[in-house]
């Protein structure tokens, strides 16, 4: 019996942490990023690779906000899913969490082809914070995990080339201002899930483009790929050419291998178990790069795997596919241009050395190219039934420029409270004052929005947002002037004082930064209207930055005053327990600081690659770092 391909809604219930609110402070600085190559190292790289590594690096997270409001308390929670299924495969998608394909089951054998995380646990690995492990994720924006990792996408049914249904996911990526779509298509009787991807540049200027499709597979899989050499990127943060590692490569530390597939060869990568069963990913030639990532067998890597999943469920490695040879590169998408390709994910049974031949038998290269040609006209097909709703930012951009984007409608009905003041600025030329006292909303920073802010009436609220946009553009002196102008008449001082404090730190004026942070936090405490989510998030975010700034200049008493003014629930969070230990140490109370470690805490938003925990532990004595705190991505130094 042939089962017709169908899309349906389901609910997935699993232990999950709350995402919590976004950080309301504008991210004037990037989060720490572990992927980067020193300019001096680029001379030894191929010319095109070196050029693309230097092209369009991310210098700001704006206009996106940091997502750091999550914790580590997991309770059974219901997540909305969309399931696309035929008689061979069943794919489960989370439209509210980046459109992640969290499960791909081969129905005849019952095999799960992906690493399926049994929990939902955000951690600080995305460009803007919250990210979770497992499944197939769609990374667009800049080097790293997309800011949409834990964000909702639009989703709808669309007619497929074979007359059935496709599941379309789409959104407006805000770091680069690019609309994109992913069409998940599962032809009747097919052993392969197709993913048709398209990214468009609607602007009159070129834009740096980054795309990597990232698939988590069980850690014990052997990796096969049609390459003899790879570019290795390890804990020393250098790219070096190496022979392709063994099928079951192991490293003590986290390592990336970017495979150098010869131009004429088919693009694919497979992850197979000891019996030769597993997953293969392939694509049309536009998706040039392939990569393997391992956390490593060291204690830090093992701890990260436990941190991201559940104890006893086994680790994972990643196989990835991208537009460039390495994830350190961005490619150029010309003005008015677009790029599209077709990916395929399915089961494969073969020894690693014969995986290429087995793939060609299961899905010939010519057949995939033909499927891409058949799909491409349907990329413009208008969606049918809406299955999930993303953000309203795309709708705002479509309204601003009167854009026509066939296939990816950004309806005005999706505009929300976040977009309302900017819609008003677009209509009237005036950014409205907030109707009630609350932390400022997000700032739009693209040149066209900055121009509108420049000509809007210069209220303190407008000066605040204008300064943020100017800072993003690199005009820091003008940003400071805008914030200082706004400060003279602002009823709410703390947002402007905090921005000025960040500027002081960037210019090396740490004493003045600490003073401004202290004043900003005092003003926020006076202004706070309640202990609800929004005000609590603002107090926690500003309190953390104020504590760090005050401790840096050894204003210990003032740091203690900030600590005491925080809500008890905030002080109990792991990040603040770590700050408490640092504060106690600054007060000359090392035994009390050690007691904080002994009592145990978990820094939910610990950043990948950071050494803040082990550096503080080293100041307390000579004992080895306890395993529960060991997230080190590099071997311990001498």
Whether 176 maps to a domain, the answer reads yes
- Please give the Cα distance from 183 to 167 (Å, whole number): 6
Give the residues across from 324 on adjacent strands. none
Computed over every residue of the chain, the mean pLDDT equals: 94
Which whole number is the average pLDDT over 236-261? 89
Verify that 451 and 367 share a domain, yes or no. Answer: no
- pLDDT per residue over 152-194, tens digit each? 999 999 999 988 899 999 999 999 999 999 999 999 899 999 9
Backbone dihedral region for residue 143 (phi beyond 0: left; psi -120 to 50: alpha; all else: beta): beta
- Over 70: is that where the pLDDT of 491 sits? yes
- Quick one: DSSP state of residue 602? -
CATH of the domain at 133: 2.70.98.10
Verify that 354 and 444 share a domain, yes or no. Answer: no
Select from 330, 365, 393 the last residue of a domain: 393
Verify that 477 and 560 share a domain, yes or no. Answer: yes
Verify that 346 and 453 share a domain, yes or no. Answer: no
- Over 60: is that where the pLDDT of 344 sits? yes
Q: Rounded to whole angstroms, what are the CA distances from 260 to 40, 223, 244, 247, 267?
A: 22, 15, 9, 16, 10
**Percent of the chain clearing pLDDT 90 (strictly above):** 89
- Please give the Cα distance from 128 to 27 (Å, whole number): 9
Confidence at residue 638, expressed as pLDDT on a 0 to 100 scale: 45
Verify that 286 and 156 share a domain, yes or no. Answer: yes
Confidence at residue 636, expressed as pLDDT on a 0 to 100 scale: 59
Select from 367, 393, 419 the last residue of a domain: 393
Verify that 587 and 487 share a domain, yes or no. Answer: yes
Whether 638 maps to a domain, the answer reads no
Confidence at residue 193, expressed as pLDDT on a 0 to 100 scale: 98
Verify that 387 and 448 share a domain, yes or no. Answer: no
CATH of the domain at 558: 1.25.40.10
Q: Rounded to whole angstroms, what are the CA distances from 166 to 105, 184, 213, 231, 596?
A: 18, 6, 19, 36, 53
Confidence at residue 1, expressed as pLDDT on a 0 to 100 scale: 42
Which whole number is the average pLDDT over 313-320? 92
- Over 50: is that where the pLDDT of 324 sits? yes
Whether 56 maps to a domain, the answer reads yes
Question: Residue 92: pLDDT band by 50, 70, 90 thresholds?
Answer: very high
> If you search the block for the tokens 């803007």, which residue do you land on?
128
Helix/strand/coil percent split, the chain, to 5: 30, 25, 45
Question: Residue 249: pLDDT band by 50, 70, 90 thresholds?
Answer: confident
- Please give the Cα distance from 333 to 200 (Å, whole number): 8
Whether 230 maps to a domain, the answer reads yes
Whether 480 maps to a domain, the answer reads yes
SS3 575: helix
Verify that 213 and 304 share a domain, yes or no. Answer: yes
Q: Rounded to whole angstroms, what are the CA distances from 330 to 29, 56, 120, 208?
A: 20, 6, 30, 6
- Please give the Cα distance from 82 to 7 (Å, whole number): 7
Whether 64 maps to a domain, the answer reads yes
Segment (H or E) for 6: strand 6-17
Please enumerate in sequence order all residues whose Cβ is within 8 A of that of 554, keeping only pairs 6 or more positions apart, or say none.
586
Structural domain range at position 203 = 6-393
CA distance between the termini of the chain: 65
Verify that 169 and 254 share a domain, yes or no. Answer: yes
Confidence at residue 366, expressed as pLDDT on a 0 to 100 scale: 98
Whether 431 maps to a domain, the answer reads no
- Please give the Cα distance from 129 to 239 (Å, whole number): 25
Q: Rounded to whole angstroms, what are the CA distances from 441 to 417, 465, 529, 544?
A: 9, 9, 16, 20
Please enumerate in sequence order all residues whose Cβ is within 8 A of that of 260, keeping only pairs 6 or more positions apart, or say none.
227, 228, 229, 230, 231, 241, 325
Give the residues across from 195 on adjacent strands. 184, 343
Which whole number is the average pLDDT over 272-283? 97
Verify that 237 and 127 share a domain, yes or no. Answer: yes
Number of helices followed by number of strands (H, E) in the chain: 17, 25
Verify that 360 and 459 share a domain, yes or no. Answer: no
Question: Residue 311: pLDDT band by 50, 70, 90 thresholds?
Answer: confident
> If you search the block for the tokens 């409205």, which residue do you land on?
432
Whether 260 maps to a domain, the answer reads yes
Verify that 305 and 225 share a domain, yes or no. Answer: yes
- Please give the Cα distance from 320 to 349 (Å, whole number): 20
- Over 80: is that where the pLDDT of 312 sits? no
Total domains, the chain: 2
Instruction: Calculate ∠ Cα 399-404-408, nearest 5°.
Output: 95
Confidence at residue 97, expressed as pLDDT on a 0 to 100 scale: 98
- pLDDT per residue over 544-561, tens digit each? 999 999 999 999 999 999
Segment (H or E) for 499: helix 494-506
- Over 50: is that where the pLDDT of 430 sits? yes
Which whole number is the average pLDDT over 497-504? 98
**Percent of the chain clearing pLDDT 70 (strictly above):** 98
Q: Are 601 and 574 spatial neighbours (Cβ–Cβ below 8 Å)?
A: yes
Select from 365, 393, 421 the last residue of a domain: 393
> If you search the block for the tokens 């800011």, which residue do you land on?
147
């Amino acid at each position: 019996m042939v089962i017709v391909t169908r899309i349906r809604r389901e609910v997935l219930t699993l232990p999950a942490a709350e995402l919590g609110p976004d950080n309301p402070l504008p991210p004037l600085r990037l989060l720490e990023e572990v992927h980067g190559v020193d300019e001096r190292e680029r001379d030894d790289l191929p010319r095109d690779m070196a050029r693309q590594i230097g092209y369009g690096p991310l210098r700001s997270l704006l206009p996106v906000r940091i997502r750091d409001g999550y914790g580590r308390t997991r309770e059974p929670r219901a997540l909305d899913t969309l399931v696309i299924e035929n008689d061979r495969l069943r794919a489960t998608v989370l439209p509210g969490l980046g459109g992640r394909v969290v499960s791909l089951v081969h129905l005849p054998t019952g095999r799960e082809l992906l690493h399926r995380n049994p929990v939902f646990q955000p951690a600080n690995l995305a460009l803007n914070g919250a990210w979770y492990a497992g499944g197939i994720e769609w990374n667009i924006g800049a080097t790293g995990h997309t800011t949409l990792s834990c964000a909702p996408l639009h989703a709808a049914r669309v007619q497929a080339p074979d007359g059935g249904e496709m599941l379309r996911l789409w959104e407006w990526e805000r770091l680069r201002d690019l609309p994109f779509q992913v069409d998940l298509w599962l032809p009747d009787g097919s052993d392969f899930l197709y993913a048709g991807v398209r990214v468009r540049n609607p602007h009159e200027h070129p834009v740096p483009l980054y795309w990597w499709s990232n698939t988590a597979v069980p850690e014990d899989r052997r990796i096969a790929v049609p390459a003899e050499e790879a570019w290795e990127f390890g804990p020393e943060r250098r790219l070096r050419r190496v022979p392709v590692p063994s099928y079951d490569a192991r490293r003590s530390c986290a390592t990336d291998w970017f495979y150098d597939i010869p131009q004429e060869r088919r693009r694919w990568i497979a992850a197979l178990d000891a019996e030769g069963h597993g997953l293969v990913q392939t694509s049309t030639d536009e998706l040039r790069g392939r990569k393997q990532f391992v956390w490593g067998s060291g204690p830090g890597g093992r701890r990260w795997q436990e941190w991201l999943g559940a104890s006893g469920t086994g680790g994972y490695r990643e196989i990835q596919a991208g537009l460039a040879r390495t994830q350190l590169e961005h490619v150029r998408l010309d003005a008015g241009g677009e790029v599209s390709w077709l990916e395929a994910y399915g089961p494969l049974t073969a020894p690693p050395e014969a995986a290429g031949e087995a793939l060609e038998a299961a899905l010939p290269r010519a057949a995939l190219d033909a499927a891409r040609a058949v799909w491409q006209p349907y990329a413009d097909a208008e969606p049918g039934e809406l299955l999930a709703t993303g953000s309203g930012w795309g709708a705002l951009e479509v309204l601003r420029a009167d854009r026509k984007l066939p296939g990816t409608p950004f309806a005005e009905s999706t505009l929300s409270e976040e977009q309302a003041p900017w819609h008003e600025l677009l209509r009237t030329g005036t950014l409205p004052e907030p109707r009630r006292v609350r932390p400022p909303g997000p700032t739009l920073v693209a040149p066209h929005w900055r121009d509108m802010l420049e000509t809007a009436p210069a209220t303190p609220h407008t000066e605040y947002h204008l300064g943020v946009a100017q800072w993003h553009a690199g005009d820091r002196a003008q940003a400071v002037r805008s914030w200082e102008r706004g400060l003279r008449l602002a009823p709410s001082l703390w947002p402007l004082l905090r921005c000025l404090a960040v500027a002081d730190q960037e210019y090396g004026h740490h004493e003045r930064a600490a003073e401004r942070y202290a004043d900003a936090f005092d003003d926020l405490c006076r202004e706070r209207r309640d202990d609800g989510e929004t005000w609590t998030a603002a107090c926690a975010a500003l309190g953390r930055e104020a504590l760090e700034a005050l401790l840096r200049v050894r204003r210990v008493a003032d740091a203690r005053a900030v600590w005491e003014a925080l809500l008890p629930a905030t002080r109990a969070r792991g990040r603040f327990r770590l700050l408490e230990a640092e504060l106690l140490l600054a007060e000359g109370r090392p035994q009390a600081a050690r007691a904080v470690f002994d009592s145990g805490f978990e820094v939910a938003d610990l950043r990948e690659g950071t050494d803040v925990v082990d550096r503080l532990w080293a100041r307390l004595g000579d004992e080895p770092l306890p395993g529960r705190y060991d997230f080190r991505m590099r071997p311990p130094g001498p």
